[in-house]
Structure 1
Amino acid sequence: MDWIAQHGDLVSALTGVGTLIVWIIYLQVFVSSYRRQLRATLLITRGAGDEDDTRCFVSNMSAGPVYVQSVMVTLETEDRKIVSAATDIRDIQDKTQVNSLDRTRQGPLHPGQLKDIGSFRSLMSHGLKETDASPAVVRAVLVEVLGVYGSEDLPVGARRRFILVRSQGGVRIEGDTIETQQIRKRRERRQLVHDLKRDK
């Protein structure tokens, strides 16, 4: 106690510094949490089943709505990659009987909402029709969803790669990774602008 009384000014200074450090750490945690809430988060998942007619879903796990502006599909073969826009839905039998909103994969996704963007077979058909390639040569498919989120000045996006596993029983669709890759770096998001121009 005598030591504390003799060094009261030092103890007060150390206490003040300690309190300041605690508040700085708290502020960093708060800002980091706030930034995470502002980030757009999209999930690309596979529906029930594992064949090529299995549905592909996009879910919005962001705090606010995301407007899906474009869906890009990259088909990977042994010797090349085929990139194509798959925003428009082509596999519609009678387009005169279908609402115009049902003929596109564009549209708003509210927080927690899930959107069916079609079967993997229909997504792959865009690239296959443009190149006359055979479905048998496709080894993997990369699904990329681009959109607009809040007041962000650049597009947001997410991508996930799926592998096609062939056997005597047919084709299985398997996710190459468990998680959906979020496109958040500004350099990558600037590249999304060029991808959107491709899907005019």
Structure 2
Amino acid sequence: MTAIWLIYLQFFYFSYRRSNRPFMIIHQAQGDGPEAPCLFVNMSKEPIHVQSIVAYLDTEDGLRSCFITDYQRHSPEDSQAGEGLREGPIQPGGYLVLGSFNDIFSCHPEVGGDHSGARAALDGRKLELCVAVTHGPSQHLIGARREFRIRQARNATTLQAHSIYTEQLTSRRKRKDVRRWVQERFSPEQDSEQEDRGTEQKMD
């Protein structure tokens, strides 16, 4: 009987842990062209607070990064799209409109204004979107990351997601990458390699 109860307790524990784990989506909406909007959606059961959004672009001159600061915030109760605050939590079911992929390209001056020359050189290269957030129950930074491949054919640019899933960066090892994104923007005095502290529930 004790063994049965232990199995039940373990089952309920893992179910609770799984249901309260943060889950975020970086979504390419309405087509695969650069005019398609890019959404960041909070599918967690708790609010999340966005700390940093960075776009890494693979170019012939190396990896380029820029920070996305212009976006629209929407809650599940919004009946129509409207410009929202750039700060504050995203409620469960809420999302950010990061702009179109053209807008994201525009923060990279070397390709933002050129649809034929510089962008043609990006054929087969990648655009990686990375979002660093603080999750409601935790004091630590976690993140989400998704990679898109850039294709150029017949003077048209398309973007194809490398995977159907958004990578969830919640493990201790991956949280180091998330801290680095924030430090690149804000340059805090804290050592980037400082070990996580606190009473956060361990996440795999």
CA RMSD of aligned residues (A): 2.6
Higher helix share: 1
Q: CA deviation at 1:77?
A: 2.7
Match of 2:169 in 1: 183
Residue in 1 aligned with 2:129? 143
What corresponds to 1:168 in structure 2? 154
Look up the equivalent residue of 1:110 and give its one-letter code: Q
CA pair 86-136 structure 1, distance change in 2 beyond 3 A: farther
**Given the superposition, is the C-alpha separation of residues 127 and 21 from structure 1 closer, same or farther in structure 2, using an over 3 Å criterion?**
farther
Question: Counterpart amino acid of 1:59?
Answer: V
Unaligned 5+ runs, structure 2: 72-81, 187-204
Q: Report which of the two structures shows the higher radius of gyration computed on alpha carbons.
A: 1
Match of 1:60 in 2: 42
User: What corresponds to 1:119 in structure 2?
Assistant: 100
Please say if residues 74 and 143 of structure 1, whose CA atoms lie closer than 8 Å, have aligned partners that are also in contact.
Answer: yes
Aligned-partner residue type, residue 192 of structure 1: V
Q: How does 1:1-200 map to 2 (within 5 A)?
A: 19-78=1-60, 80-88=62-70, 104=86, 106-128=87-109, 134-138=118-122, 139-200=125-186
**Cα distance change on mapping 1:88 and 1:188 into 2, 3 Å:** same
Q: Deviations over 1:7-50 (max 9, x none)?
A: xxxxxxxxxxxx22222221111111111222211001111021
Q: Does the CA-based 8 Å contact 1:57-1:115 persist in structure 2?
A: yes
Gaps of 5+ in 1: 1-18, 90-98
Q: Percent identity among equivalent residues? A: 30
